[in-house]
Amino acid sequence: MNYSSLLIDIADGAAVVTINRPAALNALNAVILEELTAAFAELKGNNAVACVILTGSGAKAFVAGADIAAMQPLDAVAAGQFARLGHAVLNDIEKFPKPVIAAVNGFALGGGCELAMACDIRIAAENARFGQPEVNLGVIPGFGGTLRLSRLVGKGRAKELIFTGDMIDAQEAYRIGLANKVVAAEDLLAAARSMAAKIASKGPVAVRFAKESVDNGLEMDLDRAGRFEADLFGLCFATADQKEGMQAFLDKRPAKFTGR
Ligand code: DAK
């Protein structure tokens, strides 16, 4: 499929999806949200893709938020539709059956911070800035920010960021657990590709089950979460990858996973 606002580059098991609207700091409009939905649906079934890297075009921004100019005139019904579109995209990414890494190359504000938080892992460039500045605009985070930020960094820190609208830099984001690591801007894509390649070399079914277990387990009490994890652990033994992975260990050779 051809995309007007996304660039997609697939190599070595990873798809780099670049939101390409640098003149507006990659602000999310309905076209980008619809194209992200289509792109993730396409990548889901692509066996050459083990991992997705999401980033923004240009040196300045990952995504500076939802498109304020497009949102300003919306009535309550249209705003609700826009919010549902955003939620659907972020849910698709969160539930995507392969890991998604956000390579945060500058501003990740509002909907941009929310988009990064829907990804499994965030690698930040030194110039990255994170924030939920919606209160400056008279609204609250509308794409799951109040939910995902508090789960990632805890209730107190999330409330401080959301109530003040303050931006934090990459090191502070790392310190509070919002970013997994910080790298020099020029090394960002290489760092993301290197992590994606490492993940792509593992058993794909095991990685998918691990993602499901972490995400679903966090929403359950420990008893149910434990049973869910045990069921997925058991299911691993129905895969060729489990037989191969354990046999390879016993043979003292690298495993050759097939994703079956
Ligand atoms: N939307 C539209 N255009 C944006 C934008 C945005 N979020 N952010 C930047 N731009 C545009 C600027 O208007 C400017 O366009 P031109 O004037 O050149 O045409 C261009 O990008 C470059 O930006 P600046 O000139 O402002 O660049 P600076 O370096 O001076 O400043 C900045 C960079 C990131 C600090 C600044 O651009 C800024 O503060 N941007 C807005 C950040 C922000 O407030 N983001 C949160 C957006 S609100 C909801 C669903 C979702 C949401 C809310 C409700 N429901 C429907 C319930 C989500 C809301 C948000 O994400």
> What pLDDT shows up at residue 1?
82
Q: Ligand 1 mean position to 30 CA, how many Å?
A: 15
Mean pLDDT of 212-240: 97
pLDDT, the chain, mean: 97
Cα separation values, 70 from 30, 66, 105, 120, Å:
9, 8, 24, 28
Q: Is 114 annotated as catalytic?
A: yes
Per-residue confidence band for 25, with pLDDT thresholds at 50, 70 and 90: very high
Mean pLDDT of 5-33: 97
Whether residue 77 has its Cβ less than 6 Å from ligand 1: no
Whether residue 89 has its Cβ less than 6 Å from ligand 1: no
CATH of 6-200 given 3.30.200.20, 3.40.50.720, 3.40.190.10, 3.90.226.10: 3.90.226.10
Closest to 100 in 3D by CA, of 208, 4, 206, 20: 208
Mean pLDDT of 233-244: 97
Q: Ligand 1 mean position to 69 CA, how many Å?
A: 8
Taking a C-beta distance cutoff of 8 angstroms, is the pair 181, 191 a contact? Answer: yes
> What pLDDT shows up at residue 29?
95
pLDDT tens digits, residue range 145-201? 999 999 999 999 999 999 999 999 999 999 999 999 999 999 999 999 999 999 999
Q: For a substitution probing ligand 1, which of 20, 25, 72, 107 has the most ligand atoms within 8 Å of its CB? A: 25
Question: Annotated catalytic residue: which of 42, 94, 134, 186?
Answer: 134
Mean pLDDT of 107-134: 98
**Domain residue ranges of the chain, discontinuous segments joined by +:** 6-200, 204-251
Whether residue 143 has its Cβ less than 6 Å from ligand 1: yes
Q: Is 160 annotated as catalytic?
A: no
Q: Ligand 1 mean position to 3 CA, how many Å?
A: 22
Taking a C-beta distance cutoff of 8 angstroms, is the pair 21, 64 a contact? Answer: no
Superfamily of domain 204-251: Lyase 2-enoyl-coa Hydratase, Chain  A, domain 2 (1.10.12.10)
Taking a C-beta distance cutoff of 8 angstroms, is the pair 44, 112 a contact? Answer: no
